[in-house]
Structure formats: C-alpha cells, structure tokens
Structure 1
Amino acid sequence: MAINEFADLYLEDELVLQELYYAYKQELSSYDIQSTKGKVIQYRRVEGDHGIQFEKKYFRLQEEPFFRLVMFSIEIMREMLPLGTVVELNPRYFLPEQSTSSPTKVVITERFIVPTGYQTYFPYGGVIYPVGELKKDATIYFTEPLITNVVHTGYRDEMEEAFELLIKEDLLVKENRRSIEFSTEDMKGLQSEMEAKERAGER
C-alpha cells in the first residue's frame, strides 16, 4: 500500500512531518514539501480529504485518520530532551506581565505531565535558570515548538531511552493521549485557567 511505503520513506523525516502538519493546520488547499533528501512530496486537500503524492505514488485519507497519522508520527519519532537539559523558550509564551524581550532559560525537571481533567499532556516542565524553584507552583510547562535553543543537554543513557519508549507507549498508544500542542481547545482552556489564577494572586 502507498501509505506503508510513505511511512517507510518518510517516517523518520521530521521536516516532512512538520510541514504536513503545517499544511493541515493552515488549511492549505495545496502545498509542496521538500524532504531532507531533496524529494518533493505534494499535499492536496481534496473534497475535505487529504491527499499525498510522492515517488509517483498517491494515497488519500479522511480528516481524522490523516490528523492522527501526522500527529502520532511526529510524537513517536520526536526525540525527547533528557532531564537537566537547559533550553531557551520563546518569550511570547509568557503572560504579558511576565514576558521579556529575550528568551528565558529553563532547566527541564519534569516530562510527560498530564494536567488534571485533560486528555492531553505537556512534554516538558521546568524551572527558571539559574534561580530554580523559589516558590510553590514555580514550574513552567511547555511544548517542543516553544523551544528556541538548547543551551545544554542533560544526561542520557540506555535507561533513558527505554523510559522514553515505555512512557510513549502508555500515553500515546494505551491511553490515546496527545501533546497539548495538537489540541487548540485544551491550550485555550489551560491559558484561561492560568490567567484566572494570576488575577486571583495564586501564582
């Protein structure tokens, strides 16, 4: 099947997967993508379905199967940053009263965090570098697209890789969860909760 051949060729090509998600999210009617090896993949929206032309082959999926294919491919193949990693976050992520003009450095102290009452999860949680957790609820939760730079990478070994595989199997496959970056509804809900807490002086 064409879809299986597509997976064999491009499942590990993060550029192709991210560009397909971009085309989907922007509701583009057509979009040409160049793989990391220079091959051209053509995306077309056809009567509400999503068509992919590649290597003289073609397949077409309805809305939900296409979204799940792209989303889960990105999440399963994406390499998680280990604990202790220091990253810079896009300053636009923070609330107006917290925002700065330069990236904020954060040390990753948690991963795969599931907010209460949600079916989605945050890939990362961390504290501001170098001050750390000076007060309760100082943890910042964020997703991969908000990272603008990796300043320092934490320790990684075979146990780390095994843990990542197990947690992805539990969250993505068994519990059918997705990163919150793929759920606009949950992002808006959590943003409203954060703003309400800020107004109430709880943060």
Structure 2
Amino acid sequence: MQNKFKQQLKDLVLEKVNQIIKTLDKEKQIECGLVIKDFCERFALDEPIFQHLYAAYKEQMTSLELYSQEIDIYYHREHNLHTLTYLEKSFTLNDETYVYFLTSCIEIVREVLPLGTVVELDENYFKPSQEHGVPAKVVITGRFIAPKGYKTYFPYCGVLYPFGEMRKDAQIHFTTPLIKNVIHHGYKDEAEEALEIIMKKELIIDKNLKSIEFSVQDMRKLQKEIELKQNAGER
C-alpha cells in the first residue's frame, strides 16, 4: 500500500472510532475515549491484531497476549466486559461495543481484491464442480453490494469461471472469509484505491452498514430466502 492510501485508511478508522465513542455515555467517553483513539493511532493498520482479538472473542477466550511495534497488548474478558491494556493504558467495552469496534476496524483496513480477480471459494459454501471434482473458480465482477432490505453489504460478487454470467441471476455473492485461495489478482491502480476509500466511507461510516459476515441476523435472513427459493424450484 502507498503511504497516502495507508493514511486514508487510518483516517477512516479514526473517523469510525469517533463515531463509536459518541455512542457511549458521557462518563464512558471521558473514561476511555482518548485511550481508544490512541490505540487506533498506534495499531489501526496492523490488521492481524484486530483479527486475533476478534478470533479470541468468537472462541470465548478469557485472555490473550499480542505483540506489535515492540509493544505488548493484553486482552482480558470477564463476563460481557472486554479490556485491552497496553503501555500501562487500558479501556473496557461491553460485548456489543467491543465487537462493533473490532469488526469496523477490520472492515476498513483489510484488503479489497480488484475486479477481475479469480478466487477459489470454500467448498462448504460453494460446492466443487460435480463433473470435474475440483473447487469452482469465481471471477470477481463487483464489490460492496448492499442488498435491498438489509443493514449489511456483501464485499464481493462474481461469476463462475469460465462460464461467466450466462443468466441474470448467475452472480455469486460472498464475503472475505469464504475465499479459500486467490488464483489470479486483477488490475489495481490509484483509481481503484480511491474507489475503495469512497465506498468504505459511504457504507461503513456514512450509512453505518457492516459486512454480512458480521451480522448473525442478516445471515439467517439470507439463508431462509435461499431455502425458500430452493424449495420453490428457483435454484
């Protein structure tokens, strides 16, 4: 990533964090607002830190020790309270706010694959070709798709390689964790980076949407819709 692009991503993280801090009560804002901002100033671009912390949350770990930029970071969980400590500073957030904080930082900083990228999806989500017995390949044809009626968005949509869009409903919508392997990277330049910044600001900050992978409610809603279509013979 170029330095300008990195700084733009960091600025988006700080803007989102300010938005999150404002949802806290006044006492909590005073207590930990500056520490949260400082944490993001230091570690916002270190995506693995946030990924490890989110994984620890999902696995219901009670503690975790991380290391970044020669700084020790300690995570501690007690019931529904989550505390991060570093450099003799700390802040504590409840379940909802803590997850919102982590997932927002992850979404903003993580890589967005360009158009034309060919990926292999997790076979548990998209079954391998029955004829050839190999995982199907998907070409990314769109990003940041917000379905009507949802409070979330899909990071990607694509078409099956090498068939392309043989019918209007042939597009496959998927999220970053479902990508098992990147086979070919599409073209990326400054215009692509500029679009990424614009879309992340519009969806994640201005519209307050999140990737569907972080919404259990919308994932269940989507699954029900898929099952209904399958039962009706549409798929």
TM-score, normalising length from structure 1?
0.90
Match of residue 119, structure 1, among 144, 151, 154: 151
Aligned to 1:28: 61
Map of 1:20-169 to 2, 5 A cutoff? 20-35=53-68, 39-94=71-126, 102-169=134-201
Report the number of matched residues: 201
Structure 1 residue corresponding to 2:226, chosen from 158, 179, 194: 194
In structure 2, how many angstroms separate the alpha carbons of the residues matched to 1:4 and 1:171?
21
Deviation at 1:60, TM superposition (A): 1.2
CA distance in 1, matches of 2:231, 2:128: 13
Correspondence for 2:22: none
The equivalent residue for 1:10 is 43
Secondary structure of the corresponding residue to residue 124 of structure 2: helix
AA aligned opposite 1:60: T
Q: What is the CA–CA distance in structure 2 between the aligned matches of 1:193 and 1:54, rounded to whole Å?
A: 44
1:178 alignment partner, one of 210, 223, 228: 210
Aligned partners of 2:133 and 2:57: how far apart in 1? 31
Counterpart position of 2:6: none
Deviation at 1:39, TM superposition (A): 4.7
Give me the identity figure in percent: 50
Judge conservation of contact 2:140–2:157 (CA < 8 Å) in 1.
Answer: yes
Q: TM-score, normalised by structure 2?
A: 0.78
Give the SS at the match of 1:91.
coil
Query: CA–CA distance in 2 between the matches of 1:168 and 1:145?
Result: 18
Residue identity opposite 2:101 in structure 1: L
Structure 1 residues 158 and 183, CA, compared in 2 at 3 Å: closer, same or farther? same
The residue type equivalent to 2:182 in the other structure is V
Rounded Cα–Cα distance in structure 1 between residues aligned with 2:106 and 2:147 = 21
1:78-131 superposed Cα distances (whole Å, 9 cap, x missing partner): 121111110111100137998x96432100001111112110000000011111
- Give the 3 Å change call, closer, same or farther, for CA 102–28 of structure 1 in structure 2: farther
Q: Give the partner amino acid of 1:94.
A: F
1:147 is displaced (CA, Å) by: 0.6
| Contact in 1 for aligned 2:152/2:218 (Cα 8 Å) | yes
